[in-house]
């Protein structure tokens, strides 16, 4: 394992249902790592082992395994294909040396496929494309290739042609060598050489020439030879292809059926030969945290150690599991330095993760993904290194949550619930927890309703507490539009000492000031010691609301007259007088209801713009502007919070999963009268 040229680090990326997990299972089985071929649909695959994943039949977390094929150790990361868990893919793509991009031959290119391909292309990650599910009814290889060519920012280059399709999918032709192979029907994943089908000879010649030309175009020497001789040798194709893949200039295409384990051995061979090793990759550039200078981290075992924490898993028994990729040097011993937290951390055993199991190792070198348990300080995004050569590696920005739910414990065990959610925040950076000051609700925010429901299921299973979800209350406010001057008088006689407080106040709008109190009492008509009590009474009345029980904001109050009684006046009496005065003045000044307005930036395909704009109008949204990129339209709008609480689900439906958005609070605005009347009526009926 000291020879990093014999290590590969690849992430399986692709849309939900494209068969990534099944392909990982088949690769592990063919390589001899697994004794039996598990199935996602049967809930016994080694990579989808989480109970929630088994139940939903989808990947929710990135999962990890390794296999050895012809003396090469390959580290696999299987990523989720659902938008709700896109953050997992972002972090996995950050630490892999190549992406194995799976696309289903029936479904073809979907909304998520485009998002994932954009991610791979943006980061210039070397990639290969595997067209999976070639055995399925309506599987169409060339239709899928055309969709990839037309819709994805990757440049597909055919290196294999399928022999047959659907139930007749029996083999493939390797365009590099020109040889044909049939798949073993015993599920072993192996292939045997066979005659090239006569009806494919012309196609093979055409696509092999295309392969030569596309490889030649990436290299000046090869293009010169190809233009002169119209031919490249097999060795030249292999050498040119490997370099072009490393440079992320082309994405070779292979074919398979993962569930039948057809075509897996050639994919394993392809990974070994053409996917770059850590030693082939450019050095990662880190930063010296004390000086800000750049530090080169060569991917060699004898350089200074550095690693990047890209995932943290919470476990009620084992504690926190910290998973990191080694970029440079060799990690051995029992301590490392956390450059972000500026602390040394001691660890116990060093593990390689194998599905839900773990294998202990003595050391780790560049390209390896390893884990340690029970670190106190390290969190996702931290850099681990040597203290005498401190360095930080840039972390990707986690996605901002776009949907929120109010949460509470079903059986009243609130403290246990909130401590469990806090532990989940370490594991999932796209999850946030906050308290809404006005409503008093605890909000959990995430990428979708499914995302938050999955978090609830994990908490129930791991920590034994149930999380109830409901849409958050809208934090409406009240304010005034005019001025009013009134008297607030509190007088009570009940034998003995009475209560007397009398004040005159004038209220007026104070936009953006929240509350301003001006004392204009002259001549001591209200003694100094009672005036703060008037202000306190007004503030309490504002907090409780007048129109519908929502806090009143942006009001200026002038206290300018009143009277007192030498015996019966008290702070309490003037507090009550202030409260009465405000409750009387606010309706006279024209109380209105305010609602929170959100700034929303929506990124959608050009085909969806009309639907999205129409939908925004139906939500009382105001489009503030539009911008265009090569593939997307970017719509900026302002929409009332009340109208977009479940927008994440709705946008996914409208755009087939291709739309995305960010959202943040903008300002408060007046609620239209007819809507305000309904809100006030509903609120008053509650109380």
Average pLDDT value for residue range 471-500? 90
Residue 115 dihedral angles phi and psi, to the nearest 5°: -60, -45
CATH code of the domain covering residue 521: 3.30.230.10
Looking at the structure, tell me whether residues 213 and 249 fall in a common domain: yes
Looking at the structure, tell me whether residues 91 and 179 fall in a common domain: yes
How many domains is the chain built from? 5
Looking at the structure, tell me whether residues 300 and 207 fall in a common domain: no
| pLDDT band, residue 82 (cuts 50/70/90) | confident
Residue 348 and residue 604: Cα distance in Å, rounded? 47
| Among 570, 589, 608, residue at a domain's last position | 589
CATH code of the domain covering residue 423: 3.30.70.870
Residue 588 and residue 577: Cα distance in Å, rounded? 17
Q: Looking at the predicted structure, is the pLDDT value of residue 44 above 90?
A: no
Q: Looking at the predicted structure, is the pLDDT value of residue 497 above 80?
A: no
Looking at the structure, tell me whether residues 510 and 428 fall in a common domain: no
CATH code of the domain covering residue 84: 3.40.50.300
Looking at the structure, tell me whether residues 651 and 568 fall in a common domain: no
Domain membership flag for residue 158: yes
Domain membership flag for residue 581: yes
Average pLDDT, the chain: 91
pTM, entire model: 0.86
Taking a C-beta distance cutoff of 8 angstroms, is the pair 286, 392 a contact?
yes
Strand pairing category for 98-104 and 7-13: parallel
Domain membership flag for residue 538: yes
Residue-level pLDDT at 495:
66
| pLDDT band, residue 34 (cuts 50/70/90) | confident
Q: Looking at the predicted structure, is the pLDDT value of residue 365 above 70?
A: yes
568-593 CB burial, b ≥16 within 10 A, e <16: bbbbebbbbbbbbbbbbbbeebebeb
Closest C-alpha among 130, 167, 126 to residue 18: 130
Looking at the structure, tell me whether residues 167 and 256 fall in a common domain: yes
Looking at the structure, tell me whether residues 231 and 130 fall in a common domain: yes
- Could you read off the pLDDT of 176-213 as tens digits, one per residue? 999 999 999 998 999 999 999 999 999 999 999 999 99
Total residues belonging to the chain = 687
Taking a C-beta distance cutoff of 8 angstroms, is the pair 603, 634 a contact?
yes
Domain membership flag for residue 340: no
Q: Looking at the predicted structure, is the pLDDT value of residue 48 above 60?
A: no
Question: What domain range includes position 533?
Answer: 478-589
Query: What SS3 string covers 132-152?
Result: ECCCCCCCCHHHHHHHHHHHC
Looking at the structure, tell me whether residues 47 and 86 fall in a common domain: yes
Helices (H) and strands (E) in the chain, counts: 16, 34
Domain membership flag for residue 93: yes
Q: Looking at the predicted structure, is the pLDDT value of residue 687 above 70?
A: no
- Could you read off the pLDDT of 318-342 as tens digits, one per residue? 678 899 999 999 998 889 999 999 9
Domain membership flag for residue 105: yes
Domain membership flag for residue 324: yes
Q: Looking at the predicted structure, is the pLDDT value of residue 51 above 80?
A: no
Residue-level pLDDT at 59:
72
| Among 565, 589, 613, residue at a domain's last position | 589
Residue-level pLDDT at 132:
96
Report which listed range, 37-41, 272-276, 329-333, 608-612, is most confident: 272-276
* Residue 445 CA: distances (Å) to CA of 176, 508, 657: 50, 37, 19
Average pLDDT value for residue range 459-480? 92
Domain membership flag for residue 315: yes
Residue 242 and residue 287: Cα distance in Å, rounded? 30
CATH code of the domain covering residue 356: 2.40.30.10
Residue position matching structure tokens 């202000």: 535
Residue-level pLDDT at 656:
80
| pLDDT band, residue 81 (cuts 50/70/90) | confident
Q: Which residues contact 243 (CB under 8 A, 6 or more apart)?
A: 218, 219
Residue-level pLDDT at 49:
63
Residue-level pLDDT at 315:
66
Per DSSP, the three-state class of 604 is strand
Looking at the structure, tell me whether residues 48 and 165 fall in a common domain: yes
Residue 288 CB: number of other CB atoms within 10 A? 14
- Could you read off the pLDDT of 540-594 as tens digits, one per residue? 999 999 999 999 999 999 999 999 998 889 999 999 999 999 999 999 999 999 9
Residue 308 and residue 311: Cα distance in Å, rounded? 9
Looking at the structure, tell me whether residues 627 and 534 fall in a common domain: no
Looking at the structure, tell me whether residues 44 and 152 fall in a common domain: yes
Average pLDDT value for residue range 121-129? 95
CATH code of the domain covering residue 645: 3.30.70.240
Q: Containing H/E element for 581? A: helix 571-588
Greatest Cα pair distance in the chain:
117
Taking a C-beta distance cutoff of 8 angstroms, is the pair 290, 390 a contact?
yes
Average pLDDT value for residue range 410-424? 87
Q: How is residue 450 written in tokens?
A: 């499914």
Residue 89 and residue 87: Cα distance in Å, rounded? 5
Taking a C-beta distance cutoff of 8 angstroms, is the pair 541, 458 a contact?
no
Q: Looking at the predicted structure, is the pLDDT value of residue 217 above 80?
A: yes
Question: How far does the chain reach from its first CA to its final CA, in angstroms?
Answer: 69
Range of weakest confidence among 38-42, 290-294, 362-366, 590-594 = 38-42
Residue 126 and residue 104: Cα distance in Å, rounded? 20
| Among 470, 504, 522, residue at a domain's last position | 470
Sign of CA dihedral 563, 569, 570, 574: negative
**Helices 264-274 & 20-30 angle (0-180, nearest 10):** 90
Taking a C-beta distance cutoff of 8 angstroms, is the pair 309, 106 a contact?
no
State what percent of residues in the chain have pLDDT above 70.
Answer: 96
Residue-level pLDDT at 606:
86
Q: Give the number of C-alpha atoms closer than 13 A to the C-alpha of residue 660, restricted to the C-beta side.
A: 14
Q: How is residue 644 written in tokens?
A: 């977009």
| pLDDT band, residue 358 (cuts 50/70/90) | confident
Looking at the structure, tell me whether residues 611 and 522 fall in a common domain: no
Q: Which residues contact 438 (CB under 8 A, 6 or more apart)?
A: 475, 477, 550, 551
């Amino acid at each position: 394992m000291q020879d990093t040229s014999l290590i590969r680090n690849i992430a399986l990326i692709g849309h939900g249902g494209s068969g990534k997990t099944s392909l990982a299972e088949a690769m592990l089985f063919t390589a001899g790592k697994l004794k039996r071929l598990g199935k996602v649909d049967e809930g016994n695959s080694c990579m989808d082992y989480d109970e929630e994943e088994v139940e939903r039949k989808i990947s929710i977390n990135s999962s990890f395994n390794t296999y050895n094929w012809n003396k090469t150790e390959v580290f696999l990361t299987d990523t989720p294909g659902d938008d709700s868990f896109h953050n997992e893919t972002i972090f996995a793509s950050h630490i892999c040396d190549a992406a194995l991009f799976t696309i289903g031959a029936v479904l073809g290119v979907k909304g998520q496929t485009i998002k994932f391909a954009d991610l791979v292309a943006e980061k210039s990650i070397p990639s290969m494309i595997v067209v999976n599910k070639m055995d399925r009814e309506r599987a169409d290889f060339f239709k899928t290739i055309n969709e990839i060519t037309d819709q994805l920012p990757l440049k597909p280059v055919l290196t294999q042609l399928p022999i047959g399709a659907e139930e007749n999918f029996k083999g493939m032709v390797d365009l590099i060598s020109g040889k044909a192979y049939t798949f073993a029907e015993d599920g072993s994943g192996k292939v045997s050489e066979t005659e090239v089908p006569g009806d494919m000879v012309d196609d093979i010649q055409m696509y092999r020439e295309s392969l030569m030309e596309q490889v030649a175009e990436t290299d000046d020497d090869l293009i010169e030879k190809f233009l002169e001789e119209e031919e490249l040798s097999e060795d030249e194709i292999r050498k040119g292809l490997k370099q072009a893949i490393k440079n992320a200039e082309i994405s070779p295409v292979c074919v398979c059926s993962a569930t039948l384990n057809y075509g897996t051995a050639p994919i394993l061979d392809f990974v070994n030969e053409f996917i770059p090793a850590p030693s082939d990759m450019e050095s990662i550039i880190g930063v010296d945290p004390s000086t800000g200078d750049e530090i080169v981290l060569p991917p060699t075992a004898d350089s200074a150690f550095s690693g990047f924490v890209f995932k943290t898993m919470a476990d009620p028994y084992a504690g926190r599991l910290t998973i990191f990729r080694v970029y440079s040097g060799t990690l051995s011993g029992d301590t490392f330095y956390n450059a972000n937290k500026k602390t040394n951390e001691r660890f116990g055993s060093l593990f390689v993760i194998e599905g839900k199991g773990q294998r202990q190792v003595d050391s780790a070198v560049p390209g390896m993904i390893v884990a340690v348990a029970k670190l106190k300080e390290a969190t996702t995004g931290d850099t681990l290194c040597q203290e005498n050569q401190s360095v930080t590696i840039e972390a990707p920005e986690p996605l901002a949550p776009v949907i929120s739910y109010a949460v509470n414990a079903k059986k009243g065990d609130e403290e246990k619930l909130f401590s469990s959610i806090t532990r989940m925040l370490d594991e999932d950076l796209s999850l946030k927890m906050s308290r809404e000051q006005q409503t008093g609700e605890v909000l959990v925010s995430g990428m979708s309703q499914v995302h938050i429901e999955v978090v609830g299921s994990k908490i129930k299973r791991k920590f034994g507490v149930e999380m109830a979800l409901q849409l958050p209350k809208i934090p409406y406010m009240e304010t005034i539009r005019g001025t009013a001057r009134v008297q607030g008088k509190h007088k009570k006689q009940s034998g003995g000492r009475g209560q007397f407080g009398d004040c005159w106040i004038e209220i007026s709008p104070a936009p953006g000031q929240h509350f301003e109190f001006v004392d204009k009492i002259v001549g001591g008509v209200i003694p100094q010691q009672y005036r703060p009590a008037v202000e306190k009474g007004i503030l309490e009345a504002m907090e409780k609301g007048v129109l519908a029980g929502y806090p009143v904001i942006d009001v200026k109050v002038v206290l300018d007259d009143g009277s007192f009684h030498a015996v019966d006046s008290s702070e309490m009496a003037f507090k009550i007088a202030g409260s009465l005065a405000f409750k009387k003045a606010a309706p006279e000044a024209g109380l209105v209801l305010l609602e929170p307005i959100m700034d929303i930036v929506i990124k959608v395909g050009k085909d969806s713009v009309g639907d999205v704009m129409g939908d925004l109008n139906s939500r009382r949204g105001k489009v503030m502007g539009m911008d265009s990129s090569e593939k997307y339209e970017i719509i900026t709008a302002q929409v009332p919070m009340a109208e977009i609480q479940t927008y994440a689900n709705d946008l996914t439906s409208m755009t087939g999963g291709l739309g995305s958005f960010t959202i943040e609070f903008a300002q408060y605005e007046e609620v239209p009268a007819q809507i305000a009347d309904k809100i006030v009526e509903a609120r008053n009926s509650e109380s």
